[in-house]
Amino acid sequence: PADLAAAGTPINQRTLTDYISYARQNVHPRLSDEASAKLVVEYVEMRRIGASRKTISATPRQLESLIRLAEAHARLHLRPSVDLDDVAEAVRLMRVATQQSATDPLTGTIDMDLIHTGISASAKRKTDELADALLEILRDSNSGSMRIADLTAALLDKAAAVSFNQMREAIDQMKSDGSVKERNGTVSLA
């Protein structure tokens, strides 16, 4: 089947199904020492890249996925052991998948927080900064309490444009950490 595919001839569905079944049942590749070392190097590199941006870019789960991808690639080629080509393809697949699913739209960088929590590290930082600014405004007010509309106006005097959703997220975060209370459209220090 590999010769047919290399020649550009399509493989019929039955042949492909038989090939995959054979590979699943009979081929169980083991990691070579060389492949294991390369997987570790690539995983450490993924972690290093994230550390430079203060985000988690690789977890042990990603290492396990790299191993499974490398083994699957070796199995596809009916090899008894995982070699460096299998590791290279696993790393390439992981990078493409990660890039597509974890690219932070605000920064254009890969951020695993986006996958794990649904919120990018930069969005979290922005919400934290907004919450800090709102708390400062409330502390500077005479009563420690303001209507949301007045709080928004005061914030807009201090900062760049802020969307309603960003404001809402910051207030909700402050409520959940116990620093403010909200009642009837008014936010008060707790």
Residues 28-77 pLDDT 10s: 999 999 999 999 999 998 888 766 656 556 788 889 999 999 999 999 99
Q: Which pair of tokens denotes residue 66?
A: 């790299």
User: 84, 108, 110: which is closest to 96 by C-alpha?
Assistant: 110
pLDDT of residue 1: 47
Give me the mean pLDDT over the 97-115 stretch.
66
User: 122, 151, 121: which is closest to 136 by C-alpha?
Assistant: 151
The total of other beta-carbon atoms located within 10 Å of residue 121's CB is 21
Q: Give the C-alpha separation, 91 to 116, whole Å.
A: 20
Residues 93-104 pLDDT 10s: 988 877 666 666
Q: Give the C-alpha separation, 18 to 8, whole Å.
A: 19
Q: At what angle do helices 148-158 and 121-140 cross, to 10 degrees?
A: 110
* pTM, two decimal places: 0.55
Give me the mean pLDDT over the 127-146 stretch.
89
pLDDT of residue 81: 97
pLDDT of residue 100: 65
Average pLDDT, the chain: 84
Query: Is it the case that residue 181 has pLDDT exceeding 90?
Result: yes
Query: Is it the case that residue 17 has pLDDT exceeding 90?
Result: yes
Relative to beta strand 180-183, strand 186-189 is antiparallel
Of 10-14, 36-40, 112-116, 161-165, which one has max mean pLDDT? 36-40
Residues with Cβ < 8 Å from 18, sequence gap 6 or more?
none
